[in-house]
Structure 1
Amino acid sequence: MRTHIKAQCAALAVLAFATVTTQAAETLSVVTFGGAFEAAAKKAWFDPFTQSTGVTFSTESYDGGLAKLSAMEQAKNTTWDLMDLESNDAITACDEGLLKKIDKNSLGKTSDFIPGSITDCAVASMVWSTVYAYDTSKLKTAPATVNDFFDLQKFPGKRGLRKSPKVAMEWALIADGVDPKDVYKVLGTPVGVDRAFKKLDTIKKNIVWWESGAQAPQLLADGAVVMVQAYNGRIDDAVKRDQKPFKAVWDGQLYDFEWWGIPAGAKHADTAAKFIVSQAQPKASADLSKYIAYAPPRKDAIPLVDKQRLADLPTAPDNFKRAVQVNASFWADNADAINKRFQAWLTQ
């Protein structure tokens, strides 16, 4: 009998070891926008999750959009388990059945989250912002408004812009006199779209386009532009890590949530869901700001952020005075039409 029991125990031990080994060998394939955010996410979220679960991460960078995800889903060969998504892509992907539904109950007290930061298919990972920045060692007069970005007489030189109509269109209207709170009301009309493109025409010959977020601070560092549109975290990273003399201009910042979503065909969907729950806890949510200047989407995480660090975040009171929240629904509904015109405008 004892021999039989010992044999059973040995078998169970082997099974337990095999289970742990399998879990340790599991790898989540994550696609992000790369650069400083991915590096910060690794320190704040990926590494701690690996330490507590044994699950490792394989990361891939992309520039957004849903074309590749859609193709993988149609081919029933989805290689991604977790996606870093912009708001309009998160909405569209959910509507098109490209993402799994989120179990909101697994997140705990949802009222602790900033309103709008949890959807049917995605959970906000942080609050980020698009600003513009300049090199303080090269400009004697400091630009302070969106209008200055468009003022080639007062501030001659090249401007760096993401090769996308989003943010560029909003800024063009603000620089043309539209109150930030009315931007989408105006942009939602044919006249407003014409007005935005007309304002962009005034700086078109001076625009240097970028497509990857890492290119923005590099353009500034190289002296290729005198001002550059950039993600606030990229500029903060260049200042803190690389000691660059850059300064962000917060006037007219367009802030938004960033999202985690799980592809419908993800092979490790359950583990990806567990990661999202882990990352969404107050301390983990706040920890990201240690490494990059993005704000937590949980209200109860704010007190856990270092007070000095709060000043660098998009939601800091002094930075938030003329902020505009990206209207994800507007872009989800109008992106195709505006992008088509934008591509045509680029060639004119």
Structure 2
Amino acid sequence: MFKKNMLRHAILACSGASVVVMAGGVQAEELNVVSWGGAYSMSQQKAYHEPWMEKTGDEIVNIDRSGNALAGLRSQFEAGNVTWDLVDMLPADAMIACAEGLLEPIDHDEMLADAPDGTPPSEDFIEGSLSECFIPQIVYSNIVAYNTEMFPEDDQPDSIEDVFDIENYPGKRALIRKPINNLEWALVADGVEPEEVYDVLRTEEGVDRAFAKLDTIKDEVIWWEEGSQPPQLLADQEVAFGSAYNGRIFNAMVSEDQPFEIIWDAQVFELDGWVVPAGKLDKVEDYLYWATDTQRLADQAKYISYGPARESSNELVSTHAETGIEMEEHMPTYEDNFRTAIPKDDPFWADHNDELTQRFDAWLAQ
């Protein structure tokens, strides 16, 4: 452990060097890192990967497979040929993969960096975000956005209830072709308080109520399956509203100057983070220590509007790297945006996803 800590301190302190000579003659590594692609992988590349490669001489290879990470890990372990070294994964999938023995358990306080004031990781990461095999990086949100040019300036929508109001806010809606998020929003639009959504969804009557509310807009919905679709549909004015990942909409607003606004009401927020395939910990532990420290998570927020998963990172969030705009008010965790936020209930969806997906698909076919 002493040797490992000494190495970590040497790496983190060596900001002027392009390559670190590692203890014991360890040579530079090629790390295969699985993530989501697009603007999100770019934010990781800028905040974590490029500085690490400059410091160590390691080569980081980006693999855009996080959308099917669990299936990919299962396949590699079944074949006895695990080529992925570090994987960006959602918490629910991480729970499953961990239970199946596909991932390394993480001793968070032993393996990760303390906050600058000495607060241990177990107290610095968002409460409840750490799990046996999972290290969160960001908080992102599933939101609904709209094209401001499709509504009068003095009557712009601002709530989930408005999304379900076809009469006063006409136009097509683009929604993800899954029950998740749609059922939560349907209940909120029908009068359920955000903090009570999952209690209601756990009842047969609550599920019926959600589908009944979705019935009221079904004929006006275009269903999407890829994250790139909602911004394009909104830009082309094929839809007035679109559910989307908040980072995708932010990128379209600031980098492409699209006339979009986010409705933060009832945002469904969730975490995203790292898992280590079983047998790969020795190879990636120093990079993991670096990529999850306070500064690196704050740096990522320069490139995408996802909130850092460490409390100590929030005060370091500054401006967007390209446009110079202040990033704080664009974060899901910004106070005004977070007032009616719904934390995604991963255990609920792990237990009920199959049955609700079957019902959702049958409902679509009606």
- TM-score w.r.t. the length of structure 2 is 0.84
Q: Which residue of 2 aligns with 1:82?
A: 86
Q: Which residue of 2 aligns with 1:228?
A: 242
Q: Distance in 2 between matches of 1:166 and 1:99?
A: 26
Q: Secondary structure at the match of 2:307?
A: coil
Q: 1:224 to 1:65 in 2, by over 3 A?
A: farther
Asked if 2 retains the 8 angstrom alpha-carbon contact of 1:33 and 1:64, the reply is no
Q: Secondary structure at the match of 1:80?
A: coil
Q: Which residue of 1 aligns with 2:135?
A: 123
Q: Which residue of 1 aligns with 2:145?
A: 133
Which of 72, 77, 98 matches 2:76?
72
Asked if 2 retains the 8 angstrom alpha-carbon contact of 1:131 and 1:229, the reply is yes
Q: Distance in 2 between matches of 1:103 and 1:51?
A: 28
Q: CA deviation at 1:257?
A: 1.1
- In structure 1, stretches of 5+ residues that fail to align are 1-15
Which of 310, 316, 334 matches 2:328?
310
Q: Secondary structure at the match of 1:209?
A: strand
Q: Secondary structure at the match of 1:66?
A: helix
Residue 108 of structure 2 is aligned to residue 106 of structure 1: no
Residue 290 of structure 2 is aligned to residue 278 of structure 1: yes
Q: Distance in 2 between matches of 1:56 and 1:231?
A: 29
Q: 1:215 to 1:271 in 2, by over 3 A?
A: farther
Q: Secondary structure at the match of 1:69?
A: helix
Deviations 1:63-87 (A, max 9, x none): 3462232222222223322222122
Which residue identity lines up with residue 206 of structure 1 in the other structure? E
Q: 1:153 to 1:340 in 2, by over 3 A?
A: same
Q: Distance in 2 between matches of 1:217 and 1:79?
A: 34
Q: CA deviation at 1:239?
A: 1.1
Which residue identity lines up with residue 83 of structure 1 in the other structure? V
Q: Which residue of 2 aligns with 1:30?
A: 33
Q: Which residue of 2 aligns with 1:3?
A: none
The runs of at least 4 aligned residues of structure 1 exceeding 6 Å deviation read none
Asked if 2 retains the 8 angstrom alpha-carbon contact of 1:159 and 1:228, the reply is yes
Asked if 1 retains the 8 angstrom alpha-carbon contact of 2:69 and 2:87, the reply is no
Q: Compare CA radii of gyration and give the structure with the larger one.
A: 1
Which residue identity lines up with residue 105 of structure 2 in the other structure? K
Answer with 122-131 or 45-54: which moved more.
45-54
Q: Which residue of 2 aligns with 1:57?
A: 60
Q: 1:272 to 1:335 in 2, by over 3 A?
A: farther
Which of 211, 216, 224 matches 1:210?
224
Q: Secondary structure at the match of 1:124?
A: strand
Q: Which residue of 2 aligns with 1:322?
A: 340
Q: Distance in 2 between matches of 1:115 and 1:198?
A: 35
Aligned pairs for 1:136-215 (under 5 A) are 136-140=148-152, 141-215=155-229
Q: CA deviation at 1:276?
A: 2.2
The share of aligned pairs that are identical, in percent, is 41
Answer with 200-209 or 247-256: which moved more.
200-209
Which residue identity lines up with residue 33 of structure 1 in the other structure? W
Answer with 246-255 or 96-105: which moved more.
96-105
Q: CA deviation at 1:137?
A: 2.1
Which residue identity lines up with residue 218 of structure 1 in the other structure? Q
Q: CA deviation at 1:21?
A: 9.0
Which residue identity lines up with residue 237 of structure 2 in the other structure? G
Q: Secondary structure at the match of 2:330?
A: coil
Q: Secondary structure at the match of 1:304?
A: coil
Asked if 2 retains the 8 angstrom alpha-carbon contact of 1:64 and 1:85, the reply is no
Asked if 2 retains the 8 angstrom alpha-carbon contact of 1:45 and 1:284, the reply is yes
Which residue identity lines up with residue 57 of structure 1 in the other structure? I
Q: Which residue of 2 aligns with 1:257?
A: 271
Asked if 2 retains the 8 angstrom alpha-carbon contact of 1:35 and 1:213, the reply is no
Q: CA deviation at 1:90?
A: 1.7
Asked if 2 retains the 8 angstrom alpha-carbon contact of 1:32 and 1:84, the reply is yes
Which of 84, 93, 96 matches 1:92?
96
Q: Distance in 1 between matches of 2:286 and 2:26?
A: 18
Q: Which residue of 2 aligns with 1:291?
A: 303
Q: Distance in 2 between matches of 1:195 and 1:181?
A: 17
Deviations 1:146-188 (A, max 9, x none): 1111111112221111222111111111111111010000011
Q: Secondary structure at the match of 1:88?
A: helix
Which of 350, 356, 364 matches 1:332?
350
- In structure 2, stretches of 5+ residues that fail to align are 1-20, 115-119, 320-325
Which of 41, 44, 67 matches 2:44?
41
Which residue identity lines up with residue 334 of structure 1 in the other structure? H
